[in-house]
Structure 1
Amino acid sequence: MSNLPHELYTAVQTRELERIVTQQHNISSAKLMSCAGTAALEAIRNHFPLARHILIVCGTGNNGGDGFELATQALAKDYRVSIFQLGDERGMSEETTTARKALLATGTEIQRVADKLPTADVIVDALFGTGLNREVSGDYALVIEDINQHSKHTPVLALDIPSGIHADTGQELGTAVRATITLSFLGLNTGLFTGDGPSFCGKVIFDSLKVPPSIYNVFPPTARRVSLEKDAAGLKPRERTGHKGLYGHLLIIGGDHGMSGAARLAAEAGGRVGAGLISVATRSAHSAFFNLTRPELMCHGVEDAGDLEALLSSANALTIGPGLGQGEWGAALFQKALEAKLPMVVDADALNLLSKNPQHRDNWVLTPHPGEAARLLGCSSKEVQSDRFAAIGELQKRYGGVVVLKGSGTLISNGETPIRLSTYGNPGMGSGGMGDVLAGVIGGLLAQHFKVMDAACVGVTMHGMAADKTAEQDGERGTLAMDLMPHLRKLANLNY
């Protein structure tokens, strides 16, 4: 995705971009539709070079107009085209009607969808585009399911966004097209990259339709994709006179009985991204053996909250929650940690404790997965996932600081626009300890005096990239949290 724009927009914003183009730059909607057809044909040439028979399924909106334009241009280049339409053409916009008439003028028949679509070399989804905001039903649902049956052996190109995916939230609206490639026009939509979106979009490509670049300066995007190149100024090369005292002292608090590994993972992650010193406050039964595998850690047995006093006074950042538990021990340590007012990462069981006694502060990073976010908001995880942008907005408003809403298309917000979104990471991260590593990474950056928002953005990016590099080497399935450590170290030393 390195060649994609970083700015992400809602469906309303992309329509506003189109309005600015047509009204202020004298480029007609019909011209934009023609450019979209050209871009779609170019995408087929580039990605499916052996395809000669194109099957296009059109709706009656402007997305369908793009499909009609593609059909006309493909016929002119001697492709075989089968084109199907759902919906009543009497409701079409002027430019879509014009594109449809131009296709009919070639002598091509626009067919109504029968029971099953025929076979072809590539299928083009031009049904709904970005305007859909209701559950897909009836004939539309049947056609989408038919496209998905074909997609098992035939590539699918979706125009704008796979039909059935909400352009803003990425939610699957009942059913959705599973695309091989999604070609986005004018402005990338937020829903392409979070929620269900990544599961349906395949590879995302983009065409600006040759509009003036100045249109993107008129208003800020809703979200921006994170990248180390843009966000990691704090990872510049170190001075030759540097020493451990300059790089911070991170305190990890966690590791109740039976959960020592969580704190151990967080501690090593903090060290691998460059924190100068790492202390661990954990159960006395665990403190000694932590040093057997990682002697650089300073491990302390803590059975009473009062034992944290000295540790908190020597640290400049902390990560609390990995393996903390929700019993009396964990609750007492969490309350003591809050009294220190240090910049901190609040993760795992500390988030569950916070949900029982909500507080608001500016210098922490909360890192909930959807289930923890649901507990913090008093709703269901399904509600969180149905609109992740709304959920993170409410979390940040209620709890302050920076919120990292984990999941496919992790979101990061400090309450300001744009929200940050990570396109890094993969399903191999679905194993125990991954969240503990992230909490340690962000804590390690906080210890190095990164601003809270910068620590969250860089931490999430490095974490996802490390997991992707692990998957590139050995595959996704079977990835363990410790596998990320060597990649985290390399990423922290690329000197952006």
Structure 2
Amino acid sequence: MTESGALPLYTAAGVRELDRLAIEGEGIAGYTLMCRAGQALFNSIATNWPACTQINILCGAGNNGGDGYVLARLLREAERAVSVQYLGDPGLLKGDAAKAFTDFTAAGGEATAFEGELIAASLHVDAMLGTGLTRVVEGRWRQAIEVLNARSAPVLAVDIPSGLDADSGDICGIAVRAQRTLTFIGRKRGLYTARGVDCTGAVDFSDLDVPAAVYERQPAHACLLQQPPLGPLALPRARSSHKGDFGYVLVVGGGAGMPGAPRLAAEAAARCGAGLVSVATHRDNANGLNAGRWEFMVRAVMHTDELAPLLQHASVVVIGPGLGQSPWSRQLLERVLETALPLVLDADALNLLARDPLKRDNWILTPHPGEAARLLGSSTKAIQQDRFSALESLRAKYGGTIVLKGAGTLIGDGGLPAICAAGNPGMASGGMGDVLSGVIGALLAQGLMAGDAARAAVCLHAQAADRAAAAGGERGLLAGDLMPLLREGLNGRT
């Protein structure tokens, strides 16, 4: 099952099983599915590039290439100018792909071999490599992708950009950078995270009229969040509500000279509905940390006994923003870990945890890839090569709920992994993670379960950033720009 309003995502093997169930279980011929794919591609071109004067299709040696040959035949029938270049010898095609080529040539179509140069076109269609890719792209295939990426004409990718790993979103040496991808039967999870988001452009989906019964027999492997799953927080508050009904978030952070990070986390918690918010910080930061934002309280804490009374009143603790890794930092983290309170760990709290790993059920860890690498004794490159495996490893080692940040943020709590569809490169700026930790803390304090709070917070945060970028551009987007937009999103005013 997927989250309410979320879209199911599959591995390449899962989509192959959907394909098999449609053919063997529902009696839909494989070539019928291929023709439907070709028609969906034709419709996409008609909708998105109605005025393109020349279409060039690069066809591979498998079913992805077969889809390309069907498209070429349909374009010829519609009297559109189309050319076809092949990278796999058409004489070696088998099954449905061979029939697609035969039908294309029977209709008067001709294909030429790719020999290092592309035929000039106003639109190129990538039908070279599908989801079955298991090795690094080399030889003529690599050359074709290099030439294609160097052209200014837009590219429509068939099912998946060639060279992209359908499961992980990693690039197999090189991958096509498409302006649009039309994917079939099941959405591939690698399209939405890691390097996948750099390659796909806009992603469209066609189920090729596969019956619902097929999807009922094949479980999804992840889900794509479309909206924040706010549950009861989407309902109006009771008229008799008071601040005690909505939790008390304690933010612990801000080593000497680092007041900004805990301030951002605290303001985000307040803007996202927490009834009370306090910050426990180094005494050097205490004066002025909440200047201009008097709604949250600030306490100077130099010793763990000064933290104890704050912990007694808190319902959720967010620890890590600006915390540092000093002896003072370690002592505060150790004291917080002694409590049974729900926790959100971010930034230096994660770096300290990496030194002394601990497993716990009632916390949410929010690492970016570098922090995830330290938590797992790995490398950032390894994390990014397979973010889903990294998510599973983090949960196995540390428990609780994991938010693996980055392009296509992943959320895992033991159920179906979720990917956030929203977000933009403008979020690559200081303080964004601090804001997210405060949002998570606020939603936890208001009663959402950990996994729900993490999923909803990631969506709210990313969607707020998208609205801010739409209004003023991605470059120069600041974490503080999200504050009023978080409030609007939480109240359904998007």
- TM-score normalised to the size of structure 1? 0.97
Identity %: 47
Q: Are positions 1:46 and 2:67 aligned together? A: no
Deviations, residues 262-291 of structure 1 (Å, cap 9, x unaligned): 000000000000000001100112112123
Deviation at 1:377, TM superposition (A): 0.4
The equivalent residue for 2:105 is: 104
Query: Counterpart of 2:133 in structure 1: which amino acid?
Result: L
Among 435, 440, 448, the alignment partner of 2:438 is: 440
The equivalent residue for 1:116 is: 117
Q: Report the secondary structure of 1:228's partner residue.
A: coil
The whole-number CA distance in structure 1 between the counterparts of 2:483 and 2:395 is: 30
The whole-number CA distance in structure 2 between the counterparts of 1:44 and 1:250 is: 51
The whole-number CA distance in structure 2 between the counterparts of 1:373 and 1:224 is: 21
Instruction: Provide the aligned length of Structure 1 versus Structure 2.
Output: 490
Change (3 A) 1:223 1:377: same
The equivalent residue for 1:134 is: 135
The equivalent residue for 1:411 is: 410
Deviations, residues 54-109 of structure 1 (Å, cap 9, x unaligned): 10000011000000000111100001111011123454331100111111112222
Verify the 8 A CA contact 1:248 1:275 in the aligned structure 2: yes
Mapping for residues 154-165 of structure 1, pairs under 5 Å: 154-165=153-164
The whole-number CA distance in structure 2 between the counterparts of 1:275 and 1:346 is: 18
The equivalent residue for 1:477 is: 475
The equivalent residue for 1:10 is: 11
The equivalent residue for 1:87 is: 88
The whole-number CA distance in structure 2 between the counterparts of 1:165 and 1:291 is: 46
The whole-number CA distance in structure 1 between the counterparts of 2:441 and 2:37 is: 45
The equivalent residue for 1:396 is: 395
Deviation at 1:230, TM superposition (A): 4.5
Verify the 8 A CA contact 1:263 1:323 in the aligned structure 2: yes
The equivalent residue for 2:461 is: 463
Deviation at 1:229, TM superposition (A): 5.8
Query: Counterpart of 1:186 in structure 2: which amino acid?
Result: I
The whole-number CA distance in structure 2 between the counterparts of 1:250 and 1:93 is: 62
Verify the 8 A CA contact 1:11 1:167 in the aligned structure 2: yes
Q: Report the secondary structure of 2:299's partner residue.
A: strand
Q: Are positions 1:491 and 2:492 aligned together? A: no
Query: Counterpart of 2:368 in structure 1: which amino acid?
Result: H
Query: Counterpart of 2:227 in structure 1: which amino acid?
Result: L
Verify the 8 A CA contact 1:232 1:458 in the aligned structure 2: no
Q: Report the secondary structure of 1:358's partner residue.
A: coil
Query: Counterpart of 1:444 in structure 2: which amino acid?
Result: A
The equivalent residue for 2:305 is: 306
The whole-number CA distance in structure 2 between the counterparts of 1:121 and 1:213 is: 37
Mapping for residues 61-72 of structure 1, pairs under 5 Å: 61-72=62-73
The whole-number CA distance in structure 1 between the counterparts of 2:305 and 2:433 is: 28
Deviations, residues 351-399 of structure 1 (Å, cap 9, x unaligned): 0000011111111000000000000000100000000000000001110
Q: CA RMSD in A?
A: 1.3
The whole-number CA distance in structure 2 between the counterparts of 1:118 and 1:296 is: 64
Q: Report the secondary structure of 1:131's partner residue.
A: coil
The equivalent residue for 2:126 is: 125
Query: Counterpart of 2:40 in structure 1: which amino acid?
Result: A
Mapping for residues 30-429 of structure 1, pairs under 5 Å: 30-89=31-90, 91-150=92-151, 152=152, 154-228=153-227, 230-416=229-415, 418-429=416-427
The whole-number CA distance in structure 2 between the counterparts of 1:108 and 1:448 is: 63
The whole-number CA distance in structure 2 between the counterparts of 1:230 and 1:295 is: 30
Verify the 8 A CA contact 1:344 1:446 in the aligned structure 2: no
Verify the 8 A CA contact 1:136 1:175 in the aligned structure 2: yes
Query: Counterpart of 1:419 in structure 2: which amino acid?
Result: P
Query: Counterpart of 2:17 in structure 1: which amino acid?
Result: E
- TM-score normalised to the size of structure 2? 0.97
Verify the 8 A CA contact 1:237 1:495 in the aligned structure 2: no
Change (3 A) 1:304 1:230: closer
The whole-number CA distance in structure 2 between the counterparts of 1:93 and 1:411 is: 38
Change (3 A) 1:495 1:429: closer
Verify the 8 A CA contact 1:397 1:415 in the aligned structure 2: no
Q: Report the secondary structure of 1:265's partner residue.
A: helix
Query: Counterpart of 1:111 in structure 2: which amino acid?
Result: T
Verify the 8 A CA contact 2:226 2:421 in the aligned structure 1: no
Deviation at 1:214, TM superposition (A): 2.1
Q: Report the secondary structure of 1:278's partner residue.
A: strand
Query: Counterpart of 1:390 in structure 2: which amino acid?
Result: S
The whole-number CA distance in structure 1 between the counterparts of 2:13 and 2:290 is: 55
Change (3 A) 1:230 1:32: farther
Q: Report the secondary structure of 2:325's partner residue.
A: coil
The equivalent residue for 2:26 is: 25
Change (3 A) 1:69 1:5: farther
Deviation at 1:179, TM superposition (A): 0.4
The whole-number CA distance in structure 2 between the counterparts of 1:5 and 1:117 is: 39
The whole-number CA distance in structure 1 between the counterparts of 2:251 and 2:329 is: 13
Deviations, residues 132-164 of structure 1 (Å, cap 9, x unaligned): 1211111000000111112x2x11100001001
Deviation at 1:219, TM superposition (A): 2.7
The whole-number CA distance in structure 2 between the counterparts of 1:220 and 1:314 is: 43
Verify the 8 A CA contact 1:373 1:384 in the aligned structure 2: yes
Deviations, residues 176-225 of structure 1 (Å, cap 9, x unaligned): 11101100011100010001001110000111101112211113211111
The whole-number CA distance in structure 1 between the counterparts of 2:249 and 2:458 is: 18
The whole-number CA distance in structure 1 between the counterparts of 2:218 and 2:93 is: 29
The whole-number CA distance in structure 2 between the counterparts of 1:235 and 1:287 is: 35
Query: Counterpart of 1:58 in structure 2: which amino acid?
Result: C
Deviation at 1:52, TM superposition (A): 3.3
